Chains A and B, each alone.
Chain A
Amino acid sequence: MDKIEKHQQQPGFFKEVVRRSGVNIGLCWHCKCCSAGCPFAEAMDYLPNQALRMVQLDLKEEILKSSCIWICVGCHTCSVECPQAIDMSAVMDTLRQMAMEEGFPLGQPNILNFHKEVVNSIYRHGRTHKLEIMMRYKLGRREFFSDMDVGISMLSKRKLDLMPSRVEQPAEIRKLFTEDMEDVP
């Protein structure tokens, strides 16, 4: 981002992200320890500290459409290095969920699809069933043959169980999916 145009700024965005994530993003002074330590920074369109800068500057649409918020895996490596104790992963969680709510085109729609398959698996079984997640994710992408070698060697080692391990009270889990989201900030 070379130049910030006034019309790109969405007043109130910064405050909203701070409120929802519970992280005081204003404390970030851009020492870039986070970006230097992030193992996936080279694959991101904006570095982790740049993402925070964009939030500080209310650049809502730009950051919510970015791919970096999806590539971040929440490993907390950056938080350990941050002199200001910024919880980056909590900020990224908030940004992803705001991006979904706003309906902007997403930076990495496939990563969202994967997360949805994991969550669906929890809905069905109360636990995750890896084979099912992989199959549904790959079918959704029409990537029938990618990673076949990996899949076959894992199946042959019985690492991908055919049957899910499941909870005895699935209703208790499913209720969490449908009840009032009374505690969502």
Chain B
Amino acid sequence: MNTSQSFDISYFPGCSMATTALENNRSLHTFCGQHNIKLVELPDWNCCGSSSAHSINHHLAKWLPTRNLSLAPPGRPLMAACPSCYLRLKLTHMELSQNSAFREQYERKWGRSFDPDLRIIPFFELLSDMADAGYFSDQKGRLKGLKVVPYYGCMLSRPPVMRHEKNFHGLMEKMLSIMGAEVLHWNHSARCCGTYLSVTRADIATRSVAKILDGAEAARAECIVTACAMCHMNLEIRSKLPGKTPIFHFSELLSLSMGIGSGMGWFRRHLTDPRPLLRARRLIA
């Protein structure tokens, strides 16, 4: 990776990014575009199956991600924006690499050959590679004074077969510090947001999210930053506290740190308006 070079990455947006988290999607494209990285949407991608296929239909959970893998053009990495989609794609690729019978079924089904060298990465792996390659050495510390707690949710937790894969604990802390923000310590950065319990058992989800929000408040944070669109939505819709804490997508703060964000329309899509805070910190006009 070279900071002056431009290159293409296959991009798997996933269902949330394509709809509810449009501001996340747009700010991600903006951020990558600023660094000459072109996100080329995976042609005709389908839903990875999410937790629901897993829960009730083994066959679908096994096969839905395979079609996406078969559509990925060779020679460039496939990046998933959503940590859960990443897990599904990566686990399926690992299983295909290890199981020749599954591989034969796969090639018969999709009429395309399996690419054992396809590199599947989460957005955080791209960021970490960029940091290593010196991409952020010219940061101007624009987020100076912003008191923030990073929230990872379950993205750092993986099934045992992935124990030895790369993980990115601390990356948000490191990046936010480079960007000038004041990163606070707290206890809830890895507490799961509850995913679909916010719909099916709002009582449980509300209680659980309240602990996260209280934790951010106890740490005297002005805002929370999330790495996953689902977490973002759950923290926003279940926050019942007065004077709610704004919640940012990490991609938004990354863009703001480059001086981009004003007038992009991202922040008015938030359920908890972050604009007063951003104005107070002179991050938007």
| Stretch binding the partner chain, chosen from B154-162, B176-184, B277-285 | B154-162
Check: B220 CB closer than 8 A to any chain A CB: no
Residues 205-263 of B at the A interface (beta carbon under 8 Å): 208, 233, 237
Least CB distance, A126 to chain B, in whole angstroms: 4
Least CB distance, B64 to chain A, in whole angstroms: 7
Given A71-B204, A150-B237: A126 and B47 interface contact (C-beta under 8 Å): yes
Least CB distance, A116 to chain B, in whole angstroms: 7
| Complex-state Cα separation, A185 to B59, whole angstroms | 10
Check: B52 CB closer than 8 A to any chain A CB: yes
Given A159-B19, A165-B18: A122 and B54 interface contact (C-beta under 8 Å): no
| Stretch binding the partner chain, chosen from A10-18, A54-62, A74-82 | A74-82
Which residues on B are within 8 Å of A, measured CB to CB? 15, 18-22, 44-47, 49-64, 67, 102, 105, 153-154, 156-161, 163, 190-192, 194-197, 199-202, 204, 208, 233, 237, 268-271
When the two chains form their complex, are residues B197 and A73 in contact, meaning their CB atoms are under 8 A apart? yes
Residues of A within 8 A of B22 (CB): 158-159
Check: A2 CB closer than 8 A to any chain B CB: no
When the two chains form their complex, are residues B44 and A168 in contact, meaning their CB atoms are under 8 A apart? yes
| Complex-state Cα separation, A134 to B194, whole angstroms | 16
Complex A-B: 9 CB contacts under 8 Å:
A73-B196, A86-B160, A96-B56, A100-B56, A115-B52, A122-B53, A122-B60, A128-B50, A158-B269
Most buried by B among A39, A115, A153, A182: A39
Report which of A77, A96, A108, A172 forms a contact with B157, defined as CB distance below 8 A: A77
Least CB distance, B112 to chain A, in whole angstroms: 12
Residues of A within 8 A of B64 (CB): 122, 173, 176
Given A40-B194, A93-B55, A115-B52: A76 and B63 interface contact (C-beta under 8 Å): no
Which residues on A are within 8 Å of B, measured CB to CB? 39-40, 43, 71, 73-77, 79-80, 82, 85-87, 89-90, 93, 96-97, 100, 108, 110-112, 114-116, 118-119, 122, 126-130, 134, 137, 146-147, 150, 153-154, 157-161, 165, 167-169, 172-173, 176-177, 181-185
Residues of A within 8 A of B153 (CB): 75
Q: Across the two chains, which residue of chain A brings its CB closest to B45?
A: A167
| Complex-state Cα separation, A152 to B67, whole angstroms | 35
When the two chains form their complex, are residues A85 and B163 in contact, meaning their CB atoms are under 8 A apart? yes
Residues of A within 8 A of B105 (CB): 182-183
- State the total of A-B contacts with C-beta under 8 angstroms: 166
Residues of A within 8 A of B44 (CB): 167-169
Most buried by A among B51, B57, B153: B57
Given A40-B208, A108-B200, A184-B59: A77 and B192 interface contact (C-beta under 8 Å): yes
Residues of B within 8 A of A165 (CB): 15, 18-19
Q: Across the two chains, which residue of chain B brings its CB closest to A159?
A: B20
Residues of B within 8 A of A110 (CB): 200-201
Residues of B within 8 A of A82 (CB): 160
| Complex-state Cα separation, A71 to B55, whole angstroms | 11
Residues of B within 8 A of A76 (CB): 154, 157-159
When the two chains form their complex, are residues B46 and A126 in contact, meaning their CB atoms are under 8 A apart? yes
Given A76-B159, A165-B18: A128 and B47 interface contact (C-beta under 8 Å): yes
Q: Across the two chains, which residue of chain A brings its CB closest to B54?
A: A93
When the two chains form their complex, are residues A75 and B154 in contact, meaning their CB atoms are under 8 A apart? yes
Residues of B within 8 A of A137 (CB): 199-200
Q: Across the two chains, which residue of chain A brings its CB closest to B194?
A: A73
When the two chains form their complex, are residues A161 and B60 in contact, meaning their CB atoms are under 8 A apart? no
Least CB distance, B26 to chain A, in whole angstroms: 13
When the two chains form their complex, are residues A90 and B237 in contact, meaning their CB atoms are under 8 A apart? no
